[in-house]
Structure 1
């Protein structure tokens, strides 16, 4: 599954000043228990009068097998035969959209048992009372009679007790008939709606990861329970049905008086339930193929989007990316087709269903007339991420969710390689430092972080699974695998992957299996020397949370490491099997020249080549290939800062960004003086590259969060005005007074930085520029001449400078937008207004799915909270409406973790801390679902912010006052 919702990468600081928080957010769909639907309670499940067992479902220590969340190992599925019939009109008797279905699952008995447990979500599925649960013996086996059966709500099982025992080694078939609601909850088999040419249309679609297949049909819903799936979809005539395999038979027929089409699909490969997909829609498609491989490639979307050509970019990059991965993995694409479909309502960014990948529209559809450079990159990297999963994750799958990081971290890392193969001029492999490495460090520096890999027995409940879909899993996973690939070298890494995939195809693994194959590749490579085994090195990075700060003393040549914590006074109560020491691979340069790579294996070591004299300087962790921060003695810091001020291009651009990010985070951790961190921004007056500016932008954004309500704000804004003015004038010149767009990929991003920061800090002429463009658009709504790259920052700036007229116009354009990426830009910018009542109205719109789609509601609230005017409004709104948001908008979605982080990130006072603690106490009984860890992190961040502000405010005010003159 891809990281979720994209908003331009270039809006960070401006958004903090004028509107919402920008950036890529991590979302993924995960399990949560909805409010029980009383219509499904206590219904017979098989036509036999049964009574649910009286065993309490709240026992702390389970006594019966159906009280455990994990399936026993007595049965294993072989194949399913599933028929589903979604109704795309409201059922007259229930007032609901429904689907009916029938499922046969063939399973093998591994251990003699008189009990069948199979996942079934009672809150969504009703087993039809007119049909018994039918058990049949196969190949001469005799099926015992059913004594009783019931649905166990808490653990989501259909429990079947048998009169006799199933025989080990024998196979059986379990048949069920059922009905479910085709709800709009974005989980399982669900409903998406949209309007095209004034006509409301309904799509039946699916999202099974992580534990939602059980909402669509009874199944053994664990990743290791792989099987072959035979799927048939019944659908109204004129619609098209899609599933994982190619359709092999489509016939028109009549069932119960309804004229329908019945589409049967080829059997799937052996795979996990969470990779299934079923879709019925009125969509259209465009077609291509992989050269020399006879693989059908199709892009599906709303008919209007396809007719207007919005699928062609995705089609054009899919073939090259699949070919890249075939070469990279040294394994052919394992399926006969690759369908990719853009959905109007989809909670995640995308989902790697095998053969039928589902996307948000913003992650698949590209319109050159309204999509930005950032939109294009987002589409390329998300497609690359999902295609990477076709082998790593789908062909070979983790045994259990505790190793989710291996699936998602790997796909996140190689997505940059795949995107680079399709767009080699973008140099996206460098941008992984901004998008993954720095983001992961900001979370992993907390005492409330967690290791990449958990113990299997610690991840059992759906809510625990959902918590794993976070920044650590995706971004830290990508960062440490990138580090591993770097010290092994990419060819060795790829060779180990190839043998791993070929050895375990169609089966399940644990992370140690990958280490073994990478070690084999390393051992067979002449000249490759490691200080320890791959297992010994990497287990330190995945089995303990956090990362080190490496301190180099160039006066003595000594080097040491310690666990880096954003708040050094925080209590780390999570034990570490390695006492928070790492085997650290480090590349470094001295006076601009590459040096022999160094491995730090102990807490402290002496490395005399790092000793310097005179004007010599040392810079460690070149290209930020390692997942750690670097500190230096004061003399080396001074020499690096002098070099930045006199000849900044002598330091590689990635490391200019690294110096800024390390210094600011070391200052927040009270390891270096805050004024040292601020000094790293002085060179920005001469800097024109994107990565250093974006890093400084992000880190100064924290200062604005802490001080935009204090007397520090004025001098701080004046200083940034002084620093950004040369950048603003530079882009004004090279774009011929804003009449064209820079050619270089990252220059296009930095042009947005120049305008957004300049407007937010009052650079002369900037606000007039953006409000003028926006007024021109208001005067001719049908002719938006603002370049797509600049729209988001222009919209935000103009709405912040304007009032009700500008806001209402933007709202109308948002509601009329037929392009999802354009709607997202407007949705973001609407949060930039400084008018409180408009922000309050916008917040209330979030409770109305007709105004703000459910998939977007939590993000809209976060954007409003990023606005200094909207912060308290959003906080009060969330507290007031928490029950409704949690229960009706899906507290199991990882967007709720982002919601908690977003509405509390400005907290830095005793009053705010007490409010947060009260909020936690008031909702403790219900809990926080997938936001549970985020709540702990919010408390930790708030306390750290309070301490940091109290200790640094005076010095920061003085520094900005002096340096803004």
Structure 2
């Protein structure tokens, strides 16, 4: 797609936009940063979109530079649409059954769903419209960023106890449950691969292209720090404005920005950011990290590919990930990273934490030895807030998954759930 065709597409969308908007009454909304947002709803006068949904629009505009224009976003609610919504440039269409909400008359789930739909489609004005993937094997460049942004927008909703951390935990749970199946696709394949699988409209593909990719993007963001990540995205969007890009283009920009601030290496390691990203998007499935206590807070960490269906005898697998183990520095309070880069056990000090990766920033399952599980269960019963909410969700999901396939007794997850009479986070209520 060349620059002339992109401009033609924009002009055509503006023409259709004006024709659509002349035909239907609208609700005028304004975002927090004074962006115009207008919803056209046809004759459905008794229902409306809550103004709250304009104020919760994603902060994707932080990536915006002055040469990326946004004159206004129009939303048209249509009676029939083959998909839930479509991110036409400046003219988002949403299916009637998914696009309407009125406070007090609709459920909180419907409110969340509409918020995610709008935020997702608005994010596509940048990731998908202003910059478009070169080929379908990199569809995740569109959908992963849009999904991450839509999940973050939950923090801008009013009158709800849902939080961004709850939604990210839910995403990871769904992605892992799908990605553990045999024959799953990686986030990004070679350009000559069977790209037909990436174009399928199925829950399995969506779990990888939308959900898993968004989790990996979030992991990379934490790895290189928020400000560096924002600078990288800004440079990427401006460098490929009205053009096509692939994952290597994104990697090159992020590596360039990261190299400028970190000298090209990660926490003193002899590999680059690009080396890390390759292990996560080019390989299907995910690792499980075994945590075994040596003494006190000192444990060993060992990785292998997670096999949900055990093989007898076990089959050889050469998959290895460069796994960042995030932990909180007790002095600065900032995230630090311990690297697990091969299959050899590595010694790690958990410090004052009851769990590894307490904020669930890495896409993996964790399996502790029984002594550690016992300590975690006692801590949850004493005060469940000693373990962050994301880790509480992960503990239950991981142990249930391993009990399902016979790798551990159901007593482990069932004992762990005894604390849940005190649980108040929405992620657990939804389950």
TM-score by length of 1: 0.40
- 2:372 corresponds in structure 1 to 636
Deviation at 1:290, TM superposition (A): 6.2
> Partner of 2:190 in structure 1?
455
Q: Distance in 2 between matches of 1:350 and 1:473?
A: 17
SS at the partner of 1:562?
A: strand
Shift of 1:427: 5.3
The 5-angstrom pairing of residues 46-57 of structure 1 reads none
Look up the match of 1:558: 300
Match of 2:105 in 1: 370
What secondary structure does 2:115 align onto? helix
Per the alignment, residue 359 of structure 2 pairs with: 623
The Cα shift of 1:333 comes to 5.2
Q: CA distance change for structure 1 residues 534 and 78 in 2, over 3 Å: closer, same or farther? A: closer
CA contact (8 A) 1:654 1:692 kept: no
Q: Report the Cα distance in structure 1 between the residues aligned to 2:168 and 2:66, rounded to whole angstroms.
A: 29
Q: Is the 8 A contact 1:588 1:618 kept in 2?
A: no
* Deviation of the 1:308 alpha carbon: 3.1
Contact residue 144 and residue 213 of structure 2 kept, 8 A: yes
Displacement of 1:597 in angstroms is 2.9
The 5-angstrom pairing of residues 497-516 of structure 1 reads 497-516=233-252
Counterpart among 484, 491, 494 of residue 220 in structure 2:
484
Give the conservation status (yes or no) of the 8 Å contact 1:684–1:693.
Answer: no
Aligned to 2:24: 283
1:568-620 deviations in Å (ceiling 9; x for gaps):
229999x99xx3111111124799x988531111112321524x9xxx87411
Contact 2:30 2:54 in 1 (8 A): no
Aligned position for 1:113: none
Deviation track 1:490-542 (CA, whole Å, cap 9, x = no partner) reads 22111100000000000000101111111122223359844321210011111
Once the two structures are TM-superposed, the CA of residue 664 in structure 1 deviates from its matched residue by 0.9
Residue equivalent to 2:398 = 662
Q: Does 1:598 align with 2:338?
A: yes
From 234, 244, 249, the equivalent of 2:13 is 244
Q: Distance in 2 between matches of 1:499 and 1:595?
A: 25
The correspondence of residues 30-49 of structure 1 with structure 2, limited to 5 A, is none
Secondary structure of 1:643's aligned partner: helix
Q: Distance in 2 between matches of 1:292 and 1:485?
A: 24
**Equivalent residues of 1:329, 1:497 under 8 A apart:** no
Q: How much does 1:678 deviate?
A: 1.9
Alignment of 1:577-592 (within 5 A): 579-588=318-327
Give the 3-state SS of the residue equivalent to 1:299 in structure 2.
Answer: strand
Alignment of 1:906-945 (within 5 A): none
1:396 paired to 2:123: no
Partners in 1 of 2:257 and 2:114 — Cα distance? 33
2:29·2:54 contact (CA, 8 Å) conserved in 1?
Answer: no
Q: Which residue of 1 aligns with 2:62?
A: 327
**In structure 1, distance between residues paired with 2:25 and 2:38:** 10
Is 1:535 matched up with 2:274? yes
C-alpha deviation, 1:320, in angstroms: 6.2
For the pair shown, which has the larger CA radius of gyration, 1 or 2? 1
Number of equivalenced pairs:
421
CA contact (8 A) 1:345 1:360 kept: yes
- Residues 247, 656 of structure 1: alpha-carbon distance in 2 compared, 3 angstrom cutoff: closer
What does 1:712-861 correspond to in 2, within 5 Å?
none
**Structure 2 spans left out of the alignment, 5+ residues:** none
Cα shift at 1:334: 2.6
Find the aligned partners of 1:513 and 1:433 in 2 and give their Cα distance.
26
How far apart are the structure 2 equivalents of 1:570 and 1:444?
A: 21
Note if contact 1:645-1:682 (Cα within 8 Å) is conserved in structure 2. yes
> Within 5 Å, which residues of 2 pair with 1:403-442?
403-421=138-156, 423=158, 426=161, 428-442=163-177
Q: Give the counterpart of 2:199 among 451, 455, 465.
A: 465
User: Does the residue aligned with 2:132 lie in a helix, a strand or coil?
Assistant: strand
Q: C-alpha distance in 2, partners of 1:430/1:520?
A: 29
Measured after TM superposition, the shift of residue 679 of structure 1 is 1.6
Q: In structure 2, what is the equivalent of residue 933 of structure 1?
A: none
Instruction: Rate the CA distance shift 1:524–1:417 in 2: closer, same or farther, 3 A.
Output: farther
**Contact kept in structure 1, 2:3 and 2:243, CA below 8 Å:** no
Decide which of 119, 130, 135 is 1:384's aligned counterpart.
119
- Is structure 2 residue 32 aligned with structure 1 residue 298? no
In structure 2, the CA distance between the partners of 1:431 and 1:362, relative to structure 1 (3 Å rule), is farther
Note closer, same or farther for the CA distance 1:653–1:422 as it changes in structure 2 (3 Å cut). closer
Give the TM-score of the pair, scaled to structure 2.
Answer: 0.86
User: Hey, what does 1:548 align to over in structure 2?
Assistant: 287
CA distance, structure 1, for counterparts of residue 232 and residue 39 of structure 2? 32
Report the Cα distance in structure 1 between the residues aligned to 2:424 and 2:10, rounded to whole angstroms.
56
Change (3 A) 1:446 1:308: same
For the Cα contact (< 8 Å) 1:657–1:693, is it kept in 2? no
Q: For residue 246 of structure 1, report the CA deviation from its aligned partner.
A: 4.8
8 Å contact from structure 1 (residues 246, 337) kept in 2 = no
Deviation of 1:455 after TM superposition, in Å, equals 1.9
Shift of 1:349: 2.2
Cα-to-partner distance string for 1:861-882 (whole Å, 9 max, x where unaligned): xxxxxxxxxxxxxxxxxxxxxx
Question: Residue 568 of structure 1 aligns with which residue?
Answer: 310
Distance 1:331 1:636, change over 3 A: farther
Distance 1:562 1:248 in 2: 52
Q: Is the 8 A contact 1:297 1:337 kept in 2?
A: yes
Distance in structure 2 (CA, Å) of the matches to 1:660 and 1:345: 40
Deviation at 1:652, TM superposition (A): 1.8
- The gaps in structure 1 that reach 5 residues or longer are 1-75, 80-224, 232-242, 250-262, 264-278, 698-965
Matched, 1:228 2:15: no
8 A contact 1:558–1:604 mirrored in 2: no
Does the Cα contact within 8 Å between 2:329 and 2:336 map onto a contact in 1?
no
Rounded Cα–Cα distance in structure 2 between residues aligned with 1:646 and 1:357: 49
CA distance in 1, matches of 2:344, 2:429: 34
SS in structure 2 at match of 1:681? helix
Residue 652, structure 1, aligned to residue 421, structure 2? no
Q: How does 1:55-94 map to 2 (within 5 A)?
A: none
Checking the alignment, whether the CA contact within 8 Å between 2:327 and 2:357 is kept in structure 1 is yes
